[in-house]
Amino acid sequence: MNFLKKLYKFSQSWTGTVVIVLLVIFFFIQAFVIPSGSMKNTLLVGDFLFVKKFSYGIPTPHIPWLEIPV
């Protein structure tokens, strides 16, 4: 049985569905609702947003204050 078939079978269970949804929310995308009017000029109260959580690049480690790459 290949990986995709195992993943499909796992996602058919409630546990699999919950695990997959939590992984998506924690690492990839999440929905938010604007609760207050603090950004009223651009976003209205009750607006829905989807936020991508992808990293835009892995930073290169360096020594603080010296900016020497490790």
Tens-place pLDDT, residues 25-51: 888 888 899 888 887 888 899 999 998
Domain that holds residue 66: 16-35+47-70
> Would residue 62 count as lying in a domain?
yes
- List all residues 6 or more positions away from 54 whose beta carbon is below 8 Å from its beta carbon: 28
Q: How many distinct structural domains can be found in the chain? A: 1
> Would residue 6 count as lying in a domain?
no
> Would residue 21 count as lying in a domain?
yes
Q: How far is it, in rounded angstroms, from Cα 33 to Cα 45?
A: 8
- Could you tell me the pTM of the whole model? 0.52
> Would residue 8 count as lying in a domain?
no
What is the phi/psi pair of residue 3, to 5°?
A: -60, -40
pLDDT given for residue 4 in this prediction: 87
